[in-house]
Structure 1
Amino acid sequence: MRHQLRRTPAPRPIGSPNVQAAAVIRLPHSLQRYLETQASSLLYPHASSADDFLLPAGEPALVAPDSVSWRVFKNPVALFIGGITAVLLELAHPAVRSGVWEHTSFRSNPRQRIQRTGYAAMMTVYGPRSRTEAMIAAVRQRHGQIGGVTPSGMPYRADDPALLSWVHATAAFGFMEAFHAYVGMLDAAQREAFFAEGKMSSRLYGADDAPISEQQCLTLFETTLPCLEPSSIVLDFLNIVAHSPLLPAPLDHAQGLLLKASIAILPAAIRERLCLPVHWNLHPWQAAVVRRLGRIAERIPLASSPATLACQRLGLPHDYLYAPRGLNSLL
């Protein structure tokens, strides 16, 4: 199986002078402050959560600052799209679907659930190693208490290594493809590096057989495809997210487009398997709007973001992740 994506045109090298000059968008102070406030309310479960990325000073993360992961995860548009794609892939699997739908707050409080999941993803990439390992250990403890039976009678446990590997693979695929399709193209070496960079965290989470290369991910999708199935829960999830106030203005008007963008990057065979209605199709002009949003977001540093705070913790320049360091140009 080969997934079909709407590819962005081949961009200019990021090192070209005209790209460097236009790399960062400087916003008026009031607008910047508004975005900072809204981003913090969405990213951090508690007011003190930002400190988790600042302390202990100098402590490295699981992944190095010059990694592809640090570049990919800083973009909020790619994170939202990729996170939804990952959840759709999770919900396609009957055992994972039952665990997610019966034991999380997606139905009652989708914003809180997305916030907590996003915070965990950010900690895994940017958090100091000691705090990240403690967070993952707490997640594993909770997983050990979750289990049940699917409507078809299949028993499941949230700490099943095979299910954890599926979840890890869907997350890696979703975030990587969202960035590639709507922000900046990743070449083959960068895509391989992105998967390899997740090896340490996947082992900590208990996903011992999670893919550490793109080919391994595609192989897992192929072998798992017969187990995947459509479900009304997938449509319920999309409708809940579509009608929940998740994004700040003016991005709230684009929330529906971002959902369609999430569906557009699903592997073709899995999307077909889910039997999603055609009104969720992303039209070419809509894809262009989403790419524009993704590329604008890439050029607006947020001082309160986990990526920037992690740079501060390590003594790096606040705009370290916005300097030209090898990813393709975004314009």
Structure 2
Amino acid sequence: MWKTIRELMQPPPGMAFDFRQPPGEPALAPADGVSWRVFANPLVLFIGGVAAVLLELAEPSVRSGVWDKGGFQRDPGMRLRRTGFAAMMTVYGPRSAAEQLIARVVRVHGRIEGSTPDGLPYHANDPRLLDWVQATAVFGFIEAYHRYAAPLSAAEKDRAFVEAQPSARLYGATGVPQSWAGWDALLGATAPRLEGSAILLEFLRIMNEAPIVPPLLRPLQRLLVRAAVAIVPRPVASLPQLRGQGLRRGEAALVRLLTRLAPLLPLGDTPERQARRRLAGREMR
């Protein structure tokens, strides 16, 4: 089990990166901030990431881009690891490397365009869509940490949105909320466009059945997927495809226990630990 979780915290094959270098270079997110705490917990990352994708798939234009071009259907485990690595880079990576990675992603997004089944054209670099994707990611990770790992104050939730601004702007998302109230406002403004679809059910099926962890751990995988559904806000949680897909009686306490124990796992030399050594300008043993 520990080996599997360690692998999920490491860069995917072909994307190895030494977060210890260059010594002293700061990250896009402050080391004393909320984001460094949140992203150090592997179960929070999984739960929050799944919740964010559910919100993305409820927006028709984002859904078409994510589902048609995102790779979830071909290899969901690798897609999660690539997305997780990009998130780790924006939080823990040296600023110069994070900027380079984001620039590559923006170039890839520049080639992603098409039309929804209803004929609405979309482009992955549309600022409106980028705002939604970036905001849902911040929400997912914050809410997963707050609900299952440790409560966050209102000020800490606001701070997490502020900490995400530098990376969001590099992606081209210029209207990402800078507070929890701003997130509520964006959610309210977007709610009329949010809708259910067969893709939501298919995504849940994939996340429940994909060989992300060994077969013996598959019940844990499905539990964490249900935990993600449980934190999705009402405009999406009330969609027919998500009704009854959340946590069952007594499971929230189990998820909280597992999530609070996660930092105690032997996770090895994680990006967060490497990054702290980089900022200290020396090797910590």
TM norm structure 1: 0.81
Q: Deviation per CA, 1:225-262, whole angstroms, max 9, x where unpaired?
A: 00011000010001011001113576433111111110
Q: Is the 8 A contact 2:134 2:176 kept in 1?
A: yes
Residue type of the partner of 2:139? Answer: F
Residue type of the partner of 2:2? Answer: L
Q: 2:248 aligns with which of 266, 283, 298?
A: 283
CA distance in 2, matches of 1:36, 1:304: 12
Q: Which runs of 5+ in 2 are unaligned?
A: none
Q: Is the 8 A contact 1:126 1:310 kept in 2?
A: yes
2:220 match: secondary structure: helix
The answer for the alignment partner of 2:31 in structure 1 is: 65
Residues 92-111 of structure 1: pairs in structure 2 closer than 5 A: 92-111=58-77
More displaced 10-residue stretch of structure 1: 39-48 or 226-235? 39-48
Residue type of the partner of 1:76? Answer: P
1:258 match: secondary structure: helix
The answer for the alignment partner of 1:305 in structure 2 is: 270
RMSD of the TM alignment (CA)?
2.1
Q: 1:253 aligns with which of 202, 216, 219?
A: 219
1:242 aligns with 2:242: no
1:229 match: secondary structure: coil
Cα 1:250–1:193, aligned 2, differ >3 Å: closer, same or farther? farther
The answer for the alignment partner of 1:46 in structure 2 is: 13
CA distance in 1, matches of 2:8, 2:248: 31
Cα 1:57–1:48, aligned 2, differ >3 Å: closer, same or farther? farther
Cα 1:48–1:92, aligned 2, differ >3 Å: closer, same or farther? closer
Q: Is the 8 A contact 1:99 1:147 kept in 2?
A: yes
Q: Which runs of 5+ in 1 are unaligned?
A: 1-33, 320-331
The answer for the alignment partner of 1:30 in structure 2 is: none
Q: Is the 8 A contact 1:308 1:318 kept in 2?
A: no
Cα 1:278–1:48, aligned 2, differ >3 Å: closer, same or farther? closer
The answer for the alignment partner of 2:176 in structure 1 is: 210
Q: Is the 8 A contact 1:36 1:304 kept in 2?
A: no
CA shift, 1:268, in A, is 1.5
Q: Deviation per CA, 1:146-194, whole angstroms, max 9, x where unpaired?
A: 1000000100000000100000000000000000000000011111111
The answer for the alignment partner of 2:258 in structure 1 is: 293
The answer for the alignment partner of 1:315 in structure 2 is: 280
CA shift, 1:315, in A, is 2.1
CA shift, 1:281, in A, is 2.6
Q: Which has the larger radius of gyration?
A: 1
Count residues in correspondence: 285
Share of identical aligned residues, percent?
47
Q: Is the 8 A contact 2:27 2:92 kept in 1?
A: yes
The answer for the alignment partner of 1:162 in structure 2 is: 128
1:74 aligns with 2:40: yes
